[in-house]
Amino acid sequence: MDITDQTVQKIQKFAEKRQEAEQELAKEPLTGTALHVYTRRLDATLQGLQEQVKRQQDELNKACEILIILRELNSLDLIETGTDSWARISQARRAKKAYDSLLKSEDELPATDSVLPSLLAIEETARLVQENKVSVTMTAEQLSVDRERLRVEEANLRDSQSIASGLRERIQRIRNANTRKEEQTPSQVAREQLTLQKKQTKELDRTSASLKVSLDKFIDETLAPMLAAEDLGGPTVGDAFEVSDATLKAGYTAHGKPKKQKEPTETEDGSQQRIDKFMKRNADEAPTNKRDAAAKEIHGLLDAMLEADSYINLERDSASSRFLVRAKVAQFHPRDARRLRLIDFGRSLGN
């Protein structure tokens, strides 16, 4: 069945009017009155659609009946009708009537003032907007993951480049050293090794002296007051970082709390501090307070253990010895807690 020119023109006209309506809707936002009119038009459109569905259903039923009749007519054998020409004419008329009814039926399109095209466009636009939102969210998450991975890969690349550069430099130094050794005599190699060993020994002595100064400073300024406080029954080393000489002089209670000071401690002037500092430098001078006594004791323990090859005998159980054991610097004898020695770190490294 061919589509008539009139039907094509109606479709084109409908499409043009729909575009004009969409442009007007985009230019002028809906007001309250327009929204009310739009709602009424929507209700009318829905009612029209329902009526159209019902009407097309009726036409479909009628078409089904016509098709049934046509099948019956086609199944009839015209020869069996005999020579009755009127029967054949009646049969042809019924067939023509059925075909004419089918040809006259047209597809009903929405009216020009229908909001159905707008509804379909809004629904499709909303679907596309929702899909775009989901796509943007997923893209943002993936972008964040990719950026984090890029930072990790860049850090790994820098590390790899640094390692490769270091290896190349080391390989070059080894090659240069091997080339130089091949060109030297045994006596020259021995002198070079001796010079290198002396240089390393001197650097080790310098580093050891610097560490010894730092250790002595830490003991005298920070560790000694805490050791003295623990010896007096106060807090364990590390529980109280600020312990004054006045607190040590007053002592601690049986519960480990500082005792109240009987008299306020007077601030020493600069000359007295310089005198005390000068007197502290004298190793043979007896300690003037508990802080100095604790410092002298731990200094003596460390020096004795450094000079001894094995365990040293402790005169008493002190906070200094307990602190060295807790700090994993020294260890007691497995069977005698009065004997102490430094932990041999070099043995584990050598193994």
β-pairing verdict for 330-332 and 339-342: antiparallel
Split at pLDDT 50, 70, 90, the class of 125 is: confident
CA–CA dist 88, 324 (Å, integer): 126
Bridge partner residues of 342 (DSSP)? 330
CA–CA dist 66, 94 (Å, integer): 9
To the nearest whole percent, how much of the chain has pLDDT over 90?
11
In this predicted structure, the answer to whether residue 269 has a pLDDT above a threshold of 60 is no
Give the model confidence (pLDDT) of 22-37 as tens digits.
677 666 665 667 667 7
Residues whose CB falls within 8 Å of the CB of residue 238, separated by 6 or more in sequence, listed in order = 226
In this predicted structure, the answer to whether residue 54 has a pLDDT above a threshold of 60 is yes
What integer pLDDT is reported at residue 279 of this predicted model? 55
Give the model confidence (pLDDT) of 79-109 as tens digits.
454 446 777 777 777 777 777 776 666 656 6
Split at pLDDT 50, 70, 90, the class of 347 is: low
CA–CA dist 236, 323 (Å, integer): 9
To the nearest whole percent, how much of the chain has pLDDT over 70?
75
In this predicted structure, the answer to whether residue 150 has a pLDDT above a threshold of 90 is yes
- Among 34, 55, 45, residue whose Cα is nearest residue 119: 45
Work out the average pLDDT over 282-288. Answer: 53
Split at pLDDT 50, 70, 90, the class of 68 is: confident
Token couple for 223: 């560790």
- Among 286, 279, 289, residue whose Cα is nearest residue 246: 289
What integer pLDDT is reported at residue 76 of this predicted model? 53
Work out the average pLDDT over 42-52. Answer: 77
What integer pLDDT is reported at residue 146 of this predicted model? 92
Residues whose CB falls within 8 Å of the CB of residue 62, separated by 6 or more in sequence, listed in order = 101
The pTM of the full predicted model, rounded to 2 decimals, is: 0.40
What integer pLDDT is reported at residue 247 of this predicted model? 73
